[in-house]
Chain A
């Protein structure tokens, strides 16, 4: 952690408003992006970000300097997002989602790493929310299945199966996008939920 951030955090602990503002401006876009990953709504992402920032400022004394501050803030944001997710949950998991697509896709194309951020966001957004949440928690934010199970209030095996199904669907969407980008006449049908 750089000295500038250390000083900023010390001043934030003393509840110095200018330091709090500086800290907010330094990490606001990261927090908001993390919140957006776990919701479909920008309004809800704002709510998540706001709650997260209040938690950050109120619990700053608990932050250990040997940890990554960005990682600490991200965990707070993810936890807040999951609280929102569970609060708004109507259908926890989409077990009835069609896993096989109508047209066989070239999954090898989905394994390439040349997708843009926009394409990744589109593919992730196309996942059912239950799958997407587990994929995000496991693949992106690095939570274990045990942690995910506790956070979502599900069984560990449920978390594993959700990840497995989510990954398959994600690869299918990525393959569909990469094939659609090709100048071919026999494009596969766009999978729908």
Chain B
């Protein structure tokens, strides 16, 4: 790059140096003045007033929008919480019932032969499926729950699963399991 005098812009080595005329053009044009149209001044200040009032209006609108957005955010904070509780409640019932039978059976079958446990599981399996189907058809609970029972189970709080009220909540299943065990013991005696 070649730097020239008179604060002229640098040129590439391949460029022809600035001529006197070009230097003159630069100086002349930088110093040039032209009378602005008479109406321009009023136009400038009218536009300036308009542009300064527009941001004020827009800032008011922005504040209003911010308030609305924050209100929506607060509402959204509480609304999904209720939704989750409702879903959790609806999802709890179906999977717990489906899982409960094997758990109960396993607890009671510690003394019983393994074959019995398998029989019970097989016997209870259709019931669990029925429960799921009912929930699906019902539509009052979370539709996703029956479709993805495993995921729902994983998402359940452990306190709910370990609760001691299972027998009270599903007394029929508990009562049904006990006589079944007794009946099969009697069958074994006959074989001996």
Contacts from A to B (Cβ < 8 Å): 15, 17, 20-21, 24-25, 28-33, 36-37, 42, 46, 49-50, 53-54, 57-58, 110-115, 117, 120, 124, 136, 138-140, 142, 144, 160, 163-164, 167, 170-171, 174
> Cβ of B33 and Cβ of A113 under 8 Å apart?
no
Which 5 pairs from chain A and chain B are nearest by CB? Answer: A113-B24, A29-B33, A111-B19, A113-B20, A32-B36
Candidates A25, A113, A142; contact of B23 at CB < 8 Å: A113
Chain B interface mostly: helix
13 A-B interface contacts by CB (under 8 A): A29-B36, A36-B34, A46-B37, A54-B47, A111-B19, A113-B20, A117-B32, A120-B25, A136-B29, A139-B25, A140-B26, A160-B12, A167-B16
* Distance in angstroms between the alpha carbons of A163 and B24 in the assembled complex: 17
> Cβ of A29 and Cβ of B34 under 8 Å apart?
yes
Instruction: Given the known inter-chain contacts A53-B48, A111-B20, A167-B22, please indicate yes or no for A33 contacting B34, CB distance below 8 A.
Output: yes
Kindly state whether residue B111 has any CB partner on chain A within 8 Å: no
Kindly state whether residue B9 has any CB partner on chain A within 8 Å: yes
How big is chain B's contact interface, by range? 20 to 34
Chain A interface mostly: helix
* Chain B residues near A140 (CB-CB < 8 A): 25-26, 29-30
Candidates A31, A46, A113, A136; contact of B21 at CB < 8 Å: A113
**Minimum distance in angstroms from B115 CB to a CB of chain A:** 82
> Cβ of A32 and Cβ of B44 under 8 Å apart?
no
Kindly state whether residue B188 has any CB partner on chain A within 8 Å: no
* Chain B residues near A15 (CB-CB < 8 A): 52
Candidates B19, B26, B41; contact of A171 at CB < 8 Å: B19
Candidates A33, A42, A50, A174; contact of B33 at CB < 8 Å: A33
Candidates A54, A110, A117; contact of B44 at CB < 8 Å: A54
Candidates B25, B28, B29, B45; contact of A20 at CB < 8 Å: B45
* Chain A residues near B16 (CB-CB < 8 A): 167
Residue of B nearest to A108 (CB): B19
1/0 per residue, CB under 8 A from A, across B154-179: the answer is 00000000000000000000000000
* Distance in angstroms between the alpha carbons of A174 and B19 in the assembled complex: 12
> Cβ of A115 and Cβ of B48 under 8 Å apart?
no
Instruction: Given the known inter-chain contacts A17-B45, A24-B44, A57-B48, please indicate yes or no for A49 contacting B25, CB distance below 8 A.
Output: no
Kindly state whether residue B40 has any CB partner on chain A within 8 Å: yes
* Additional A-B contact list (7), CB under 8 Å, known A120-B24, A160-B12, A167-B22: A21-B45, A36-B34, A46-B40, A46-B43, A110-B21, A140-B26, A144-B9
1/0 per residue, CB under 8 A from A, across B82-125: the answer is 00000000000000000000000000000000000000000000
* Distance in angstroms between the alpha carbons of A142 and B7 in the assembled complex: 9
Candidates B28, B29, B40; contact of A32 at CB < 8 Å: B40
* Chain A residues near B36 (CB-CB < 8 A): 28-29, 31-32, 46, 49
Residue of A nearest to B49 (CB): A17
> Cβ of A139 and Cβ of B34 under 8 Å apart?
no
* Distance in angstroms between the alpha carbons of A17 and B15 in the assembled complex: 49
